[in-house]
Amino acid sequence: MNLISSNSVNVKELNLDQILIRGLYTPTLDKQIKSEFKISLPKDNLQVKQDNNIICSKNSFDQWSIIFFQQVRLKLDTAIDKINENEKILATNYSEGQIYIEISGENKIFMLNKITHFDFREKNFPLLTSAQTLIGRVECNIYNIQNKLLVTCNRSFGDHLKSQIIDALKF
């Protein structure tokens, strides 16, 4: 859904699916994820791997996010149950608890600089990395993928974040 396009910035709200995985990296876990979702787990913190319609990000030393650009909601629970058979792993369906906002366009960084102190320069936030920061005073995850940014936050803050983004563009 297109939220707003203005001043060479495009903002869309997407309907995505997400799994949050807690656990330490093991080749077994990686193999399981790869066989299930055709993407392997990044090893470095804040590294993002992207493949077709999936991105996989290592959020911290024992946490990964897998985000699906095509809705797979019904099958996700089955996959999660299978992953959770591994008693050393906790996989949770995060799909409905988050909102997903895609920001693209030449002036996206200028717009974001109105509502976040985060340093978007290449040397601090290169392509295929993720970060956790405050945007519009809301705790967000942000992913730098190709020529766009994906911002996610808790659904309860969704209206506020969207309003802040629209305000930053308009004002």
Partner 1 sequence: MSAQDNRNSTRIAFHQSVNFTFDGVKYTGFKGDTIASALIRNNVKIVGRSFKYHRPRGIYTCGIEEPNALVQILSEHNEPNIRATVKQIYEGLEIESQNRWPSLENDLGSITSLFSPLISAGFYNKTFMRPRGFWKKVYEPLIRKAAGLGKPPKPFKTTSTQLHHHVDIVIVGGGLSGLLALRSLAKTKLKILLIEQDSYLGGILKNSNKISTIENKNNDSWISEVEKEIEGSKNIKVLKNTLATTYNYINHLIAIEDLNTGTAPLEGNVDQILHKIRAEHIILANGHIERLVSFRNNDLPGVMLTGSFEKYIQRYGVIPEKNPVIFSNNSSSHSLIKKLVDLNCKPKAYVDSRSGDKIEPDLLEIIHKENIPLFTNAHIEGCDGGKQVQEISVRDSEGMITKLKSKMLCVSGGFNPDVHLFTQSKGVLSWDDNYLTFKPDRSYQNTIIIGSAGGLFQYSKLANDIDTKLGFLNQEPIVKIDFKLNESDNYAIEKLWETKHEKESRWSKSFIDLQNDVTTKDLRQGILEGFDRIEHLKRFTTNSMGTDQGKISSINALGIVSEILDKKVSEVGTTIYRPPYAPLSFASIAGRSTYNFYDPERKTPIHEWHKKNGAIFEDVGQWKRPWYFKNHSEENLYQAVQREALQVRKYAGVLDGSTLGKIEIKGKDALEFMNLMYTNNFSKMKPMSARYALMLGEDGMIMDDGIISKINDKHFIATTTTGGAANVLSHMEEFAQTEWPHLNVYMNSVTEQFCTFNISGPNTRLIMEKVFKNIKFDNESFPFMTFNNFDYLDSTVRILRASFTGELGYEIYVRPSIALKLWEDLFYFGKDEGLIVYGTETMHLLRAEKGYIIVGQDTDGSVTPQDMDLEWMIGKNKKDFIGKRSLTRSDTIRSDRKQLVGIRPVDQKNIIEEGQHIILSSNVKPPVKMLGHITSSYMSPNLGHSFAMAVIKDGKKLIGSKVFVSSSSNDAFEVEIINPIFIDKENKRLVS
Contacts with partner 1, residue ranges (CB under 8 A): 20, 22-23, 62, 74, 77, 84, 87-90, 92-94, 96-98, 113-121, 124, 136-138, 154-157, 159-161, 163-164, 167-168, 171
How big is the CA angle at 43 (ends 40 and 47), to the nearest 5 degrees? 90
User: Minimum distance from CB of 157 to partner 1 (Å)?
Assistant: 6
CB 169 within 8 Å of CB 7: yes
Alpha-carbon span 138 to 162, nearest angstrom: 11
User: Minimum distance from CB of 89 to partner 1 (Å)?
Assistant: 8
Residue with tokens 């149950």: 81
- Residue 107 has phi, psi (to 5 degrees) of -100, 20
The neighbouring-strand residues paired with 51 are 54
Q: Which is nearer to partner 1, 130 or 164 (CB)?
A: 164
Alpha-carbon span 125 to 83, nearest angstrom: 31
Alpha-carbon span 63 to 92, nearest angstrom: 11
Q: Which is nearer to partner 1, 150 or 165 (CB)?
A: 165
User: Minimum distance from CB of 20 to partner 1 (Å)?
Assistant: 6
User: Minimum distance from CB of 143 to partner 1 (Å)?
Assistant: 19
Q: Which is nearer to partner 1, 147 or 156 (CB)?
A: 156
Q: Which is nearer to partner 1, 15 or 146 (CB)?
A: 15
